[in-house]
Chain A
Amino acid sequence: AQKVTQAQTEISVVEKEDVTLDCVYETRDTTYYLFWYKQPPSGELVFLIRRNSFDEQNEISGRYSWNFQKSTSSFNFTITASQVVDSAVYFCALSEAKDNFNKFYFGSGTKLNVKP
């Protein structure tokens, strides 16, 4: 079974639009971490955020915000006023205490296209 599901394969928006990338996870562990990574066309993976399972407080960092809801097992990522430079593939990931947080389960990624 897929531990991390990113149902949106590809999203296209016009610059300055807001966009939300969905992430749903599955785990039996009570202690876990959730992550978002950005992969631009050049290929490298850029760490964006980490959230532990005991902290449901939403976080905002500039144009980025994250909504963590344990009740729905979701960790959604919103980009406000999107820019062309936001175009990339975004991955949601999960690590669990049972693996000593060493094993990362990645979703299939959402490709975001921001058009000028």
Chain B
Amino acid sequence: GAVVSQHPSRVICKSGTSVKIECRSLDFQATTMFWYRQFPKQSLMLMATSNEGSKATYEQGVEKDKFLINHASLTLSTLTVTSAHPEDSSFYICSARDQKLQNSPLHFGNGTRLTVT
């Protein structure tokens, strides 16, 4: 089945530093990937849609300069949290769909738990 790999699974960083999270589709191509954020005991909120070869589309209220997204290939999207602050601590999870399968479900990575100290 479709597999999405996300790395790292857990990261602790100091306030002010930047953190990069990778999302890879392992056995399918994805022109579009999605980045979600999940606060403790809450639902998933879509942050942005990553588009291969073009700019990401951000949801309302999400700072594009804060959360840099790059979708350099059909199998890789990266999310960089720039100048991280403690309030950025959260669970970030990416997802992708197999573009060859019409209306296929979203497949999720295992998520990245970011802790900013």
A-B contact pairs, 20 of them (CB 8 A): A33-B103, A35-B105, A37-B108, A43-B113, A44-B109, A44-B111, A47-B105, A47-B106, A47-B108, A50-B105, A52-B103, A101-B103, A102-B34, A102-B97, A103-B49, A104-B34, A104-B44, A104-B46, A104-B106, A106-B44
Whether B75 sits at the interface, judged by CB under 8 Å, is no
Interface size on B, residues (CB 8 A): 21
| Chain B positions near chain A (C-beta within 8 angstroms) | 32, 34, 41-44, 46, 49, 91, 93, 95, 97, 103, 105-111, 113
- Interface centre among A35, A45, A106, by most chain B C-beta atoms within 10 angstroms, is A45
Inter-chain CA distance A103–B91, complex, in Å, is 19
A26 to B25, CA, bound (A): 31
Can you add 10 more A-B contacts, CB < 8 Å, to A43-B93, A47-B107, A104-B106?
A: A42-B110, A45-B111, A47-B105, A102-B32, A102-B34, A102-B49, A107-B43, A108-B42, A109-B42, A109-B43
Q: Are A91 and B111 in contact (CB under 8 A)?
A: no
A102 CA to B42 CA in the complex, in Å? 21
Contact A45 B108 (CB under 8 A): yes
**B110-A43 in contact (CB<8A):** yes
How many A-B residue pairs lie within 8 Å, measured between CB atoms? 49
Q: A91-B43, A102-B34, A106-B43 are in contact. Are A44 and B103 (CB under 8 A)?
A: no
Complex: how many Å from CA A102 to CA B103? 9
Minimum C-beta distance from B47 to chain A (A): 12
Q: A33-B103, A52-B103 are in contact. Are A91 and B109 (CB under 8 A)?
A: no
Report Cα–Cα, A71/B76, bound state, in Å.
41
By beta carbon, the residue of chain B nearest A10 is B41
Q: Scan residues 61-79 of chain A and give those whose CB is less than 8 A from a CB of chain B.
A: none
Once the chains are docked, how many angstroms separate the CA of A91 from the CA of B36?
A: 14
A23–B96 alpha-carbon span in the complex (Å):
24
A 29-60 to B, binary, CB cutoff 8 A, 1 in contact else 0: 00001010100001111110010100000000
Let me know if A108 and B43 touch, CB within 8 A: yes
B93 (CB) vs chain A CBs: closest residue: A45
